[in-house]
């Protein structure tokens, strides 16, 4: 019975829309998995020799000492990234299956998770190396078992802390507390845990204890979920509280205001859009790499133009390039309303400009690095608001990725990265201003070079109608294809 359920699960994985959508994505996922697998494998094989080479001490002892870090990071990463298992068992509830079995299944299927099997890629080669280096075979295997069981305990602990706030607070304060004490070298917990982990090697009883702990976490998670197997409790879809938006403010802008208000609601009320804006916000700090001389290769003056564009262009790049995909779930509505493409584009264009302006204000602290540095931020902002705001919409017209607004997953399905037309359009976005700056800088000096970008921005502004016309032609040409992609 359980085997049938697992076969179902496998089908679920391989028939997932993100997986089936396109070849590029599959290749990308496979590469990503191979990449991480390779990292784990090489760490597994290499850790021993690295420790030896760096002369950190007896490798096995060192490994045991830092195992605490490994476990600590494991639980943190799990909490942040590992999806929760009990989400799609609802159809199983109507079948003649005992609820217990369904719960066992949904807990056990986490073994499929990358967060569990990837550790084996690390542990197995490490065990092989340890044995080949003269450690006792049986004892080493026992040790590896103990460690893996601890990681499994982490797996179930993570499930519990995702459900129970009280447990989350407990575990979080433990992890943070240990981390802080460790970081400020107030107390070294690794010295306590080192002999604990080492004892897996020496005796069977500590391992038995760890197995008991893992079993207890499993049992706890099990009873918790068993009690939640009802449509109105654990499986209920949560209704969100609404966040009010001031209608009046936008009304004065007419149709444009209507669309802008929707976009603001889109950003505030949808996880996916919020994340894009959040990601864009972090671009602000990107300039630190360039302006502080932190990285030698970035010290050149041309890089500063590059940095200026990125610092103020975060929203433009993270949000703008997915227009019109943000509206994919109701594109049919937009296509049948009396709304012209120009009106639609203008609203997005204004949105990007407003956000770029806000980002520029938020970046104004760069002035502490001096006026010269800050002037690059301003130049970037001017170029972004005039030229890039239009060009990014042009690039978006080629992207036909349906966006699931409610999912927070940064879908790998962002095939935008592989769209050569969008890639080509990064040239005018970044290479053109940097290139122009370099050219004028060499001919007439830095000040002239700065002004040349302001000048080309003004020219870009006059080209906006032309770019819009191009974008509209693409929208119209691709309308049926786009609708098909969005409605599938």
Partner 1 sequence: MITVSNLSKTYSGTTVLSIDQIDLQAGEIIGLVGNNGAGKTTFFSLLLDLIKPSTGYIENQGVQVNQSEAWKSDTAAFIDENFLIGYLTAEEYFTFIRGLRGVSAPDMEAFLEVFKSFFNEEILGNKKYIRDYSKGNQKKIGIAAAFIGHPKLVILDEPFANLDPRAQMQLQKLLKHFNSEEGVSLLVSSHDLLHVSEVCQRILILNKGNLVKDARTSEITLDQLRSYFSEEPTEEA
Quote the CA–CA distance of 275 and 381 in Å, as a whole number. Answer: 22
Among the listed ranges 29-37, 200-208, 246-254, 296-304, the one in contact with partner 1 (CB under 8 A) is 246-254
Q: Given candidates 21, 82, 270, 419, which one binds partner 1 under the rule CB under 8 A?
A: 270
Interface stretch with partner 1, choices 260-268, 280-288, 290-298, 442-450 (CB under 8 A): 260-268
User: What is the DSSP secondary structure assignment for residue 113, as one 8-state letter?
Assistant: S
Separation of alpha carbons 462 and 236, rounded Å: 53
- One residue of 49, 205, 219, 330 binding partner 1 per CB under 8 A: 330
| Residue from 131, 213, 258, 463 in contact with partner 1 (CB under 8 A) | 258
CB of 240 to partner 1, least distance (A): 6
Q: Which is nearer to partner 1, 266 or 288 (CB)?
A: 266
Among 269, 274, 346, 470, binds partner 1 (CB under 8 A): 269
Give the nearest distance from C-beta 252 to partner 1 in angstroms: 12
Distance set, CA 310 to CA 120, 193, 200, 307, 317 (Å): 40, 45, 51, 5, 8
Choose between 226 and 269: whose C-beta lies nearer to partner 1.
Answer: 269
Residue closer to partner 1 (CB basis): 215 or 265 = 265
The stretch among 31-39, 47-55, 132-140, 250-258 that binds partner 1 (CB under 8 A) is 250-258
Give me the least distance between CB of 277 and partner 1, in Å please: 14
Burial of residue 275 (number of CB atoms within 10 Å: 0-12, 13-18, 19+): middle
The C-alpha atoms of residue 157 and residue 173 are separated, in whole angstroms, by 14
Binding of partner 1 at residue 262 (CB under 8 A)? Answer: yes
Contact region with partner 1 (CB under 8 A), list: 66-74, 160-168, 202-210, 249-257: 249-257
Residue 92 to residue 109: CA distance in whole angstroms: 14
Residues 375 to 414 in contact with partner 1, rule: CB under 8 A: 405-406
Task: Enter the DSSP assignment of 292.
Answer: S
Measured between alpha carbons, how far is 355 from 221 in angstroms, rounded to an integer?
A: 44
* Residue 337 makes contact with partner 1 by CB under 8 A: yes
Q: Binding pattern to partner 1, positions 458-487, x when CB under 8 A?
A: ----------------------x--xx-xx
Closest distance of CB 390 from partner 1, Å: 23
SS (H, E, C) 307-340: HHHHHHCHHHHHCHHHCCHHHHHHHHHHHHCCCC
Using the minimum distance from each CB to partner 1, give the nearer residue, 228 or 266. 266
* Residue 81 or 236 having the CB closest to partner 1: 236
Scanning 133-141, 189-197, 247-255, 309-317 for contacts with partner 1 by CB under 8 A, the matching segment is 247-255
- Residue from 434, 425, 426 nearest 456 by CA: 434
User: Shortest distance, CB of residue 474 to partner 1, whole angstroms?
Assistant: 16
Residue whose CB is less far from partner 1, 272 or 429: 272
State which residue, 161 or 259, has the beta carbon closest to partner 1.
259
Backbone angles phi, psi at 292, to 5 degrees: -100, -5
CB of 271 to partner 1, least distance (A): 10
134: left (phi over 0), alpha (psi -120 to 50) or beta: left
- Angstrom distance (rounded) from CA 307 to CA 298: 9
CB of 90 to partner 1, least distance (A): 16
Query: Least distance to partner 1 from the beta carbon of 230, Å?
Result: 18
Q: How many residues bind partner 1 (CB under 8 A)?
A: 36
Nearest to 266 by CA among 312, 321, 314, 325: 325
Q: Distance (Å, rounded) from C-alpha 413 to C-alpha 338?
A: 32
> Using the rule CB under 8 A, is 333 a contact of partner 1?
yes
The whole-angstrom separation of Cα 170 and Cα 160 is: 11
- C-alpha 76/C-alpha 178 separation (Å) is 13
Both tokens of 10, joined, read 């496998």
Compute the distance between CA of residue 323 and CA of residue 266 in angstroms, rounded to an integer. 12
Quote the distance between the C-alpha of residue 334 and its chain's center. 30
List residues near partner 1 by CB under 8 A: 237, 239-242, 245, 247, 251, 254-255, 257-258, 261-262, 265-266, 269-270, 329-333, 335-340, 405-406, 480, 483-484, 486-487
């Amino acid at each position: 019975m359980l085997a049938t359920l697992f076969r179902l699960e496998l089908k679920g994985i391989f028939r997932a829309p993100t997986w089936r959508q396109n070849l590029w994505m599959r290749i990308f996922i496979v590469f990503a998995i191979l990449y991480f697998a390779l990292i784990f494998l090489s760490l597994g094989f290499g850790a021993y020799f690295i420790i030896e080479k760096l002369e950190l001490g007896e490798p096995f002892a060192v490994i045991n000492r830092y195992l605490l870090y490994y476990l600590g990071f494991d639980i943190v990463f799990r909490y942040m990234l590992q999806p929760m298992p009990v989400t799609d068992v609802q159809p199983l509830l109507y079948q003649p299956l005992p609820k217990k079995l369904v719960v066992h299944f949904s807990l056990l299927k986490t073994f499929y998770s990358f967060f569990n099997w990837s550790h084996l890629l690390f542990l197995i080669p490490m065990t092989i190396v340890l044995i080949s280096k003269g450690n006792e075979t049986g004892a080493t295997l026992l040790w590896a078992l103990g460690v893996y069981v601890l990681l499994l305990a982490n797996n179930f602990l993570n499930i519990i802390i995702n459900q129970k706030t009280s447990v989350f607070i407990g575990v979080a304060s433990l992890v943070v507390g240990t981390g802080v004490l460790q970081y400020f070298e107030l107390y070294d917990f690794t010295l306590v845990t080192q002999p604990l982990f080492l004892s897996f090697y020496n005796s069977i009883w500590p391992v038995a204890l760890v197995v008991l702990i893992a079993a207890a976490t499993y049992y706890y998670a099990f009873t918790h979920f068993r009690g939640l197997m009802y449509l109105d409790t654990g499986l209920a879809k949560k209704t969100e509280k609404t966040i009010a938006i001031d209608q009046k403010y936008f009304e004065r802008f007419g149709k444009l205001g209507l669309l802008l208000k929707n976009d603001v609601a889109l950003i505030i009320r949808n996880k996916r859009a919020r994340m894009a804006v959040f990601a864009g916000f972090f671009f602000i700090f990107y300039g630190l790499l360039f302006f502080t001389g932190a990285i030698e290769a970035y010290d050149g003056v041309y890089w500063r133009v590059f940095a200026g564009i990125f610092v103020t262009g975060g929203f433009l790049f993270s949000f703008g390039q997915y227009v019109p995909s943000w509206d994919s779930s109701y594109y049919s509505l937009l296509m049948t309303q009396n709304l012209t493409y120009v009106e639609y584009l203008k609203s997005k264009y204004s949105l990007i400009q407003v956000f770029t302006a806000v980002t520029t204000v938020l970046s104004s602290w760069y002035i502490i690095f001096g006026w010269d540095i800050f002037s690059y931020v301003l130049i970037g902002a001017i170029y972004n608001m005039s030229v890039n705001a239009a060009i990014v919409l042009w690039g978006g017209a080629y992207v036909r990725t349906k966006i699931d607004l409610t999912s927070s997953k940064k879908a790998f399905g962002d095939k935008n990265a592989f769209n050569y037309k969008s890639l080509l359009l990064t040239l005018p976005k970044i290479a053109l201003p940097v290139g122009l700056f370099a050219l004028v800088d060499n001919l007439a000096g830095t000040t002239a070079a700065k002004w040349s970008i302001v000048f080309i921005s003004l020219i870009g502004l006059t080209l906006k109608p032309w770019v819009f016309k191009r974008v509209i032609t693409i929208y119209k040409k691709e309308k049926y294809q786009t609708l098909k992609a969005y409605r599938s």
